[in-house]
A and B are shown apart, each in its own frame.
Chain A
Amino acid sequence: MKQIRILGAALLTLLALGPAQAQREGGAQIAIACGALGIELELCREAAEQWAQETGNTVEIVNTPNSSSDRFQLYVQLLSSQSADIDVLQIDVVWAGMLQSHLADLEQPLGERVDAMFPALGANNRVNGKLVAVPWYIDAGVLYYRRDLLDKYGFAPPETWEDLTRAASAIQAGERAAGNDRMWGYVFQAKAYEGLTCNALEWVSSHGGGRFLSFDREFTGDNAQARAALTRAAGWIGTIAPRGVLNYDEEASRGVFQTGNAVFMRNWPYAWALAQGEKSPIRGKVGVVALPHGPGGESASALGGWHLAVSRYSQNREEAIDLVRYLTRAEEQKRRAIKGAYNPTLTALYDDPEVIAANPFFKTLYPAFENAVARPARPAGARYNQVSDAIWRASYDVLQGDSEAGPALTKLEDEIARIAYRARWGEAGQ
C-alpha cells in the first residue's frame, strides 16, 4: 500500500513539474548531483540556489548514494543510457578516466582556472586532450604524529621512512615499558581495498619507484625501489604496526590513533578536525607533516578529492558550465573552506588570512598537496577499478607475508598485461 501511495505521489509531482517547467521560459533547469556527507549537501544547495537567483535559472539538487561505489554505478547507469537527467556531476578524482567519454570538454571555458590549481589536479583531469572536470576540493595523504610523545623521546617529525621506523619502535618500546602495552608505532590503511592502493602508491612513489602505470600505460611497478618499498612496509606488520592493520580502513586506523594508542598515522586531512575535536583524548597533542620518503625519492601523497563535471548529454550545457564556474570560483571555495574546512584547489587561497585563520592546519597541508601523486586513473581509464584491485591485492599479499615483493610485482605485471589485453591498450588510437 505504502509503495503505491509513494508511487502515486511521485507521478503527481511529475505531472505538476511538466507544465511548471514549460512556464519558466526565462531560464534553464539545471540538475546537479553533489555529495551529501556531513555539511556537503547544505553548502552545495546554498551556493547553487544563489547562482540560480543571480542568473534567473532554476536548479535542482539530485540526491546520490553516500557510498562512493554506489554513486559511481548510478552515474554509469545514467550516463551510459545518455540520460539528460543530471547536468552537473560531482565526481571522484579517480573517475575522470572512467567517465571521460560521457563528459563535456571544459578546456575552453575553465582551463585557465584549473591552471591556477595544484598541478597534479590538472594533469589528472586532462584526458585524451580534453579537460573533463574542474577540481572542487582536494585531499591528500598526510602523516599525523603525537607531538607530545616525539618531544618526550627527543625525536623530530620524520623526514624519511627510516626515521619513522626508528622513532616509532623506540617510542613504542618506551611507552610499553611505561605500562601502556597497547601502544603501537604506526597505523595506516592495509585492508584489501582502494585505501591500500593509495598507501602502496605513496610507499613506492616516495622510494622513486614510479606509480605502477606510466601515462602511456606501460607497467613500471616491477623495479628495485618498488620492491624495497613494499618489503619495508611488510616489515612494519607485527613490529611497529599491529597485525590487525591488515583489516584497517581510514576510520579503524583513526580509532587507534585518536584513543592515544599510536605514535604515527597515515590518513586524509579530515582526521585533523576530529583529532583536535572537543572530546578527543589527544586534543592539542597532534602534529601533521608531509609523508616521509625513502632513499632516492621525494615525499608523495596520494591525490584525492572531488571534482565537478558537466554531462555531455546535458541539454543546457552553457548554463551547466556557468554553474560549475560559479561553484569553483575563489569566493565559493573560500566560503566552503571557512564553513566546512574543505581544502581549496586554488593555490592562492592558502595565503588568504581568513582561510588560514579558520583552519590553521591548511598551511601544513600545503606541501602534501603540492607533492600529491595521482593514482593511475588517467592511463587506466575505464579499467581503473580493475587495475586498482590488482595493485591492492599484490600489496596485500606482500604485507600479509604470503609473498615476497619480487614475485608479487611480477605477478602484478602479468595481471596488468591481462587487463591491457582485454582493454586493447596495445592497439593504436585507443
Chain B
Amino acid sequence: MKKRSAIDAARARSAWLFIAPMLIVLALVAAWPLLRTIWFSMTNATLVDLTTYDFIWFDNFIVHAEGRWYGIFTDPQWLRALWNTLVFAAVSVSLELVLGVIVALIVNAALPGRGLMRAAMLVPWAIPTVVSAKIWQWMLNDQFGVVNAMLAGAGFIDGPVAWLGGSSLAMVSIIMVDVWKTTPFVALLVLAALQTLPKEIYEAAKVDGIHPVKVFFKVTLPLIRPALVVAVIFRLLDAMRMFDLVYVMTGSSEETMTLSVFARQALVSFQDVGYGSAASTGLFLIIALITVIYIMTLNPLGKEKAA
C-alpha cells in the first residue's frame, strides 16, 4: 500500500509538473484578464483617469435609484444588442449548418474535379474577416455597389436598395455575409466526418433497396452527429461574440449592434471602463449559460456511448 501511494504521489507530482506551464499560460492570458474585467465591472472607472475609482458592487448591472432602474440589464440599447446577437446567432448558425451539410455531401460525392471543388469551397473561409467585410461593404453599397447593379441589370429591383442603410435589411445582409463566410467551416467538419463513415453500411442499404433520402436521415445523420455537435458549439460561441463583421460593415449602428460592439462603444468611444466591463461580463455570463444549457439539455456528446 505504502509503496503504491508513493508511486502515485510521484506520478501526481510529474503530472502537475507537465501541466504547470499550460496552467500558468492560461492564468496569464485567460484568467487574469477575465478577473480584471469582472473587477472593473463593479467599479465606476473611466479611461480619463484609470487610477481613481469607487467600488460600486452591482450598480453597473442593475440598480434602483432616484425612482428609475439603471444598469446594463435595464439599458434599452444593451437589451437591443442582446436581441440582435441572439437573432444573429440563431439564424446564421442554423443556415450554416443546413448549407454546410449540403455542401459537404456534394463535395463528398465522387464527382469529376472534386479536389478543385474542395479547394474552391474554402476560399471564403480563408479570407481574413475584415477584408471580406470591407469587400462586401463595397459590393453592397447603394450607389455604386455591384450587387445593386447586377440586380437592377437583371430587372429584379427598380431603384437602388440601401442594403446596409438603417433598416432590418442591414441585419439580413450581415447574416448573409456571415453564412457566406462560415459555411465552408461547417462543411469541412462534416466532410471529415463523412469520410470516416464505413462503406459497408451504404452497400447494405443499397442491397436492401432503401431510398437515398431515408439513408441520409436514418444512417448518415446519426453517424455524423458528433461532428455536427462540435460544429454547432464552435459556431454558436463564435456568433455570440460577433464583432468584426458588424463593426466593419455598419459601425455602431443600433440596428445591427451586437453585445461586443456595445462593449467596445462603452469602453473606447465613451471611455466608460466600468460600464463597458459590465457589458463584457454580461456577455461572458450569457455565453457560459448558453453553453451549459446546450450541454445539459441536448446531451450532445452522447452519454449512451459511455454507458
A residues with CB within 8 A of B = 69, 73, 76, 80, 101, 192, 244, 246-247, 382-383, 385-386, 389, 393, 396, 400, 411, 414-415, 417-418, 421-422, 424, 426
Contacts and interface: CB of A to CB of B under 8 A. Distances in A.
Contacts, number: 56
Contacts of B253: 192
B213 interface: no
B38 to A, nearest CB: 18
A76 B48 contact: yes
A67 B268 CA distance: 15
A320 to B, nearest CB: 22
Contacts of A76: 47-48, 271
B100 to A, nearest CB: 35
B275 A382 contact: no
A418 B272 contact: no
B10 to A, nearest CB: 48
A246 B170 CA distance: 14
Given A244-B162, A393-B254, 9 more contacts: A73-B268, A101-B48, A192-B166, A246-B165, A247-B142, A386-B270, A386-B272, A417-B66, A424-B44
Grouping DSSP codes into helix (H, G, I), strand (E, B) and loop, the A interface class, with mixed when no group exceeds half, is helix
A382 B275 CA distance: 15
A389 B272 CA distance: 14
A422 B275 contact: yes
Given A422-B44, A422-B272, A80 B65 contact: no
Interface residues of B, number: 26
30 contacts: A73-B268, A76-B48, A76-B271, A80-B47, A80-B48, A101-B49, A192-B166, A192-B254, A244-B142, A246-B166, A247-B142, A247-B166, A383-B270, A385-B269, A386-B270, A386-B272, A389-B270, A393-B254, A396-B166, A400-B166, A414-B76, A415-B76, A415-B77, A417-B66, A422-B44, A422-B70, A422-B272, A422-B274, A422-B275, A426-B66
A389 B271 CA distance: 13
B166 A382 contact: no
A313 to B, nearest CB: 13
Interface SS of B by simple majority: loop
A165 to B, nearest CB: 24
A418 B162 CA distance: 33
A385 B77 CA distance: 16
Contacts of A383: 270
A38 to B, nearest CB: 26
B92 interface: no
Interface of B: 44, 46-50, 65-66, 68, 70, 75-77, 142, 162, 165-166, 253-254, 268-272, 274-275
Nearest to B49: A80
Contacts of A69: 269
Contacts of B165: 246-247
B269 A418 contact: no
B270 A385 contact: yes
Contacts of A393: 254
A411 B68 CA distance: 13
Nearest to A402: B166
B48 A418 contact: no
Contacts of A101: 48-49
A421 B70 contact: yes
Contacts of B268: 73
Nearest to B166: A400
A421 B71 CA distance: 10
A422 B59 CA distance: 9
Nearest to A192: B253
Nearest to B254: A393
Contacts of B76: 411, 414-415
A397 to B, nearest CB: 9
A424 B44 CA distance: 10
Nearest to A399: B166
A159 to B, nearest CB: 32
A181 to B, nearest CB: 13
A385 B269 CA distance: 7
B76 to A, nearest CB: 7
A69 B49 CA distance: 19
B162 A382 contact: no
Nearest to A411: B76
Nearest to B68: A417
A142 B49 CA distance: 38
B165 to A, nearest CB: 6
Nearest to B44: A422
Given A411-B76, A418-B75, A422-B272, A247 B162 contact: yes
Nearest 10 CB-CB pairings of A with B: A386-B270, A421-B70, A385-B270, A382-B48, A80-B48, A400-B166, A385-B269, A418-B70, A80-B49, A417-B68
Contacts of B270: 383, 385-386, 389
A424 B59 CA distance: 12
Nearest to A73: B268
Contacts of B46: 382
A244 B77 CA distance: 25
A80 B66 contact: no
A57 B44 CA distance: 43
Contacts of B271: 76, 382, 385
Contact of A80 (B50, B70, B274): B50
Contacts of B49: 80, 101
